[in-house]
A and B are shown apart, each in its own frame.
Chain A
Amino acid sequence: MKRKNPFDLSFSLLTAAASATVLLLMAGIFIILVKESSLSIEKFGIYKFITTVDWDPVKEIFGAATSIYGTFVTTLIAMLIAIPTAIGIAIFVTEAAPNFLKGPIGSAIELLAAIPSIIYGMWGLFTLAPLMSRYIEPSLQKAFGDVPVLNILFQGTPMGIDILTASLILSIMIIPFTASISRDSFNLTPAVVKESAYAMGATKWEVIKNIVLPYSKLGVFGGIALSLGRALGETMAVAFVLGNKHHITASLLDPASTITVTLANEFTEADTDLYLSSLFYLALVLFILSFVVLAVAKFFLLRAERRYSR
């Protein structure tokens, strides 16, 4: 074995220490969350906490079901809106747009990603919510009011402060992430392959469908996973327009609450030990939830990578 240059050695130790802090931080956060929530874990257990729909600080009954439901529903709807839009943007920018448009649109997407979430929240509250309650939601009710099953989704008074508005804001916030990462991976498609396809007589659509999309599937998944993480954890923008109500509802025009919103709302004034501990427990649930969701996303990513490299 060759002796290492001492400078090299210390440098590698330094970088190792830097990356160890990540693991230490993760473990530290996890341990603190478990420790702080132990009171609530003891009182409610795991299954009961997750399935209880009550969140009653006066009677000290705390359950995470409503917050978990709100988190999932808003994230799901946001992803449903955001993914097709984002991929559409990416395809347009890389394949369809004239050259002079590519630069400006690309920078615009990146700028959109840089806007702080509180600004989205304020815009949502002052601009989007009134528009939703005055025009969009009443017309949705008119359109689907007589359709069985679908009309359940649009019950209630349209107030603009509800699951639909929150999901819309959330989707606008995550579009830039998915779009810019998808665009970058589309750009990585070797020009030779594309040109060969065109030479074989493939149309633009066929090239996109059969060459670009399969080639860059991985990157697109990565972008989706990233924005999923952001959507799960987004707080301020959602807190402004979600209405903050602890209940489970089928209507998209009803207010709801997510885990992060509950934490942001109730942390400062949680006056009893059990209340505070339950909020920590909620944070722990979110921590594990995000961990699992991102791990699953990563797993699919790795599987796709393996299949692709074969």
Chain B
Amino acid sequence: MTRLKILAALISCLIFYAVPSAASENLNGAGASFPAPVYQSWAYDYNKATGIRINYQSIGSGGGQRQIVNRTVDFGASDDPLKPEQLKKDNLIQFPAVIGGVVAVVNIAGVKEGELRLDADTLSKIFLGEIKTWDDSRIKTLNPKTALPAKPITVVHRSDGSGTTAIFTNYLTSVSADWKSKVGEGKAVKWPVGIGGKGNEGVANYVRQTPNSIGYVEFAYAKQNKLAFTQLKNRAGSFVNPGFDSFEDAADTGDFDPKKDFYTWLNNTPGKNSWPIAGATFILLAKDKTAQSAKAAKFFEWAFKNGDAKAKELVYVPLPKSLKDKIRLYWKLNSIQ
């Protein structure tokens, strides 16, 4: 009877799937999409080196936070840090894993990368819709030598909630009282002007296609899409170009404090060469699941030791050595590892 055979096959299939396979050497993580490429490539190398498999699902920071709070994953990842009170409430610990910079990119005929200079004031006024054309005197005074068209500015922002937006709006909020009262900060905000692209790639695309536009993306996307990023004036008063050096400088001068569970934004750090808009992306571990958390910490310890080159290859900024040591101490203090 073929029909019986098919039935038997079906049932055996069901039983096979119902019984979970032994998952002792697996580690599951979920969260932010921005660092997903580097986590996944670290996981690949880690698996080759130790045989332990790390599954990282890039489902967004909000999802990562929710899943670790519900303890459905072994580690969560989030682009925006949780406040120490929040961590205490959910019995979590938090530490940074890599650093990324957010850059402003423009599409103006004849303007090359790193050519246009902006400061906090002009940038916030452009995104507020107060500066409407590229030949506005406020932009011109910063760029006396650059030919700027008398064309309206098209602002491009993220349409989806994202850590990139959180970093960018946190920066604008910290430098502009107007922005703070009118818009505020968050992973999604009510943009006064502009069009919304989905994901970093969406914003990069809109900027590339729309003449006289400005947008903000993670540095890696500006690089890959060969977009003209701008210089920005930092807190020390100097104009800097985005790049590993200026991001590292921001990380060095950032206020990472283990007592506050590393809660900080790398915006407007005081270093002389610091890029003003940057942020770390964070890992969340459950305090009560010591065994799994220790395994996750071991993975990141391995990545801190062996993963810097890979991170740089993917245009992420590795953590400075001093910060790595602080994290190791923090693990010990929280009796993990």
Chain A interface residues toward B at CB < 8 A? 54-59, 125-126, 129-130, 133, 157, 159-161, 239-240, 243-246, 255, 257, 261, 264-266, 268-271
Contact = CB atoms under 8 A, between A and B. Distances in A.
B134 to A, nearest CB: 13
Given A244-B196, A269-B161, A271-B65, A55 B154 contact: no
Nearest to A159: B210
A209 B159 CA distance: 47
Given A243-B196, A245-B195, A261-B159, 16 more contacts: A57-B188, A58-B186, A59-B184, A125-B209, A159-B210, A160-B210, A240-B198, A246-B190, A265-B160, A265-B196, A265-B198, A268-B59, A268-B62, A268-B160, A269-B161, A269-B188
Contacts of B191: 245
Interface string B146-184: 000000101000011111000000000000000000011
B187 interface: yes
Interface string B47-86: 0000000000001111101000000000000000000000
- What does DSSP make chain A's interface, helix, strand, loop or mixed? loop
Contacts of B220: none
B185 A58 contact: yes
Contact of B190 (A57, A133, A160): A57
- What does DSSP make chain B's interface, helix, strand, loop or mixed? loop
Contacts of A271: 61-62, 65, 161, 186-187
A246 B193 CA distance: 10
B187 to A, nearest CB: 5
Contact of B183 (A58, A159, A245): A58
B198 to A, nearest CB: 6
Contacts of B28: none
Contacts of B162: 269
19 contacts: A55-B190, A56-B190, A57-B161, A57-B186, A59-B184, A125-B209, A133-B210, A159-B210, A240-B198, A240-B202, A244-B159, A244-B198, A245-B196, A265-B198, A266-B161, A268-B62, A268-B63, A269-B61, A269-B162
A54 B62 CA distance: 22
